[in-house]
Structures are given as structure tokens and as C-alpha cells.
């Protein structure tokens, strides 16, 4: 445990200095909710009811990767904008050898970001018109150009489509049709069912059960960072790890290295 605490020292110093661990939360019944997926104070979070990854998902990397990050995100969330950069760096580093893959799922929080649901539909239209490659190009571009917090002009959405090589007219037709409204709404329901109460919210799906060292790492990080219960935790079956909020690259890098052992 002491060794792991030392390993965490640098990321935590960065975290405290920059206030990086943060997430957008949504309100229900006039009460702001934060992730609270467990009854105890340990790192075990019980059952995570996550929809199985399938061919309808947008995945960067190998679907057979032993470590798959399933992220629920909101394109107008400023913390998601930061976390998107982190995830791109992580997949660039660990995706080359097939260790890590990234699944992106929409979780627009309309109570905070009125423009986010339509932007989520735009991502789906990009996928329809240009496949998985166009989806990721469009997603990267929208996170790059949006100021966040509903700062993106909706007129930019077709321009982004054109920028990434899609037919602007076909894209506009798709977006105005509303045919992905229900899919986005279903994704929001799935996120809440999986335990999400804010964005970004990620569940790391493991091919192999995590060992005691991983559990100790999560406990150490939770204590040192003074995180609310359920912010970081291991599912009862040992095959899913919840990561709530904009965790820094350094922490996720150490976690992945542990999982690869």
C-alpha cells in the first residue's frame, strides 16, 4: 500500500493544484445528485448494470481488447472536453498493442446543456454517413471546437461534418429528421441504469478479473483524493471498474499498467 501511495503522489499533486477531478451532475426532483453507487466506504461498488458492448457501439481500438473503457459523455460538458483529450492519449498509448479500447456512448444532460442532445444526434448522423472512422473524426472535432457549456453555435454542426469529409447536405437531412432522438434518449437511460449521475462517467470492462493490487490501488486513490463513495470502485464480480469524473491521465495510466500485469 505504501508503494502505491508513493506512485499516486505526483498525479494527486497535479490534481489538487489544478482541480482536475470534476464532473457535471444533473438534477432530479430539485436535488443535485452525485455518484453514490455503494453503501460501504470501501472500493467495492456491487453490481454495475452496463449494457453489453455490441456492433451498435462506437469503438476505438480492438473489440477484443482486455481493457475497454465505456464512456458516457456530454459534448457540452467542460469536464468531458478535458477527459476526451485524456482518453485520446490513453488509446494512442495503449491501443497500439491492443491492450485498451474505448467505447463512446452519449449521455447529454439536458438539465445542464440544452444543446447537447442535438449534438449527440449529430454524432450518430456522422456514424451513419461515414461509419466508425467518421464518427471518431466528428467527435474529436466537436470537442475541439466547442467552448462547452452550450457555447457551440448549432450552425457549426454541418460545417464540422463537411470538415471531416461528410456530405453536408446529407448530414443536414439526417440531423433535421430526428431519427436518432430515441437512440440518444435510450443511451441516457442506459447511463443512469449503469450508475451514472454525471459526466464524464466511465466503466472499464475487463476480460480478466482484477486482483487485490487493483482493489488496493482504487482504495488508496479514493482515500488520498477524498473522493465520494462510488467515484472509483471495483464491481463485485471484479470485472468492471467505475471511474466517475475527469480523472487525470497519470492516474489512469497507472491503473492500466496494473491491469495489464
pTM for this structure? 0.88
Beta bridge partners of 205: 68, 240
Residue ranges of domains in the chain, CATH in brackets: 2-260 (3.40.30.10)
User: Between residues 233 and 9, which one has the greater pLDDT?
Assistant: 233
pLDDT for res 32: 32
Residue labelled with grid coordinates 487493483? 214
pLDDT for res 26: 66
Q: Kindly state the average pLDDT of the residues 94-103.
A: 96
pLDDT for res 45: 84
pLDDT tens digits for range 84-93: 999 999 999 9
From the list 131, 125, 128, 184, the residue with the least C-alpha distance to 157 is 125
Asked whether residue 196 carries a pLDDT value surpassing 60, the answer given is yes
Instruction: Using a pLDDT cut of 70, give the percent of the chain over it.
Output: 85
Model confidence at 104, in pLDDT bands (50, 70, 90)?
very high
Asked whether residue 25 carries a pLDDT value surpassing 80, the answer given is no
Amino acid at each position: 500500500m505504501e508503494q502505491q501511495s508513493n506512485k499516486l503522489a505526483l498525479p494527486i499533486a497535479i490534481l489538487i493544484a489544478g482541480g482536475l477531478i470534476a464532473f457535471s451532475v444533473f438534477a432530479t426532483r430539485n436535488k443535485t445528485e452525485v455518484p453514490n453507487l455503494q453503501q460501504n466506504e470501501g472500493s467495492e461498488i456491487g453490481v454495475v448494470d452496463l449494457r453489453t458492448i455490441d456492433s451498435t457501439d462506437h469503438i476505438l481500438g480492438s473489440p477484443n481488447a482486455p481493457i475497454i473503457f465505456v464512456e458516457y459523455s456530454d459534448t457540452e460538458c467542460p469536464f468531458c472536453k478535458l477527459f476526451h483529450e485524456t482518453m485520446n492519449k490513453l488509446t494512442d498509448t495503449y491501443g497500439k498493442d491492443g491492450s485498451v479500447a474505448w467505447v463512446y456512448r452519449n449521455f447529454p444532460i439536458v438539465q445542464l446543456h440544452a444543446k447537447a442532445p442535438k449534438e449527440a444526434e449529430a454524432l450518430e448522423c456522422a456514424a451513419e454517413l461515414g461509419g466508425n472512422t467518421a464518427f471518431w473524426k466528428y467527435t474529436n472535432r466537436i470537442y475541439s471546437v466547442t467552448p462547452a457549456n452550450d457555447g457551440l453555435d448549432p450552425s457549426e454542426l454541418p460545417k464540422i461534418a463537411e470538415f471531416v469529409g461528410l456530405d453536408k447536405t446529407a448530414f443536414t437531412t439526417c440531423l433535421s429528421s430526428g431519427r436518432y432522438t430515441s437512440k440518444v434518449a435510450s443511451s441516457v437511460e442506459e447511463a443512469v441504469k449503469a450508475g451514472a449521475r454525471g459526466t464524464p462517467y466511465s466503466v472499464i470492462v475487463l476480460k480478466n478479473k482484477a486482483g487485490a493490487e487493483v482493489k488496493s490501488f482504487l482504495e488508496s486513490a479514493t482515500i488520498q483524493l477524498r473522493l465520494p463513495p462510488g467515484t472509483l470502485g471495483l464491481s463485485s464480480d471484479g470485472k468492471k471498474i467505475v471511474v466517475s469524473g475527469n480523472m487525470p491521465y497519470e492516474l489512469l495510466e497507472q491503473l492500466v499498467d496494473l491491469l495489464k500485469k
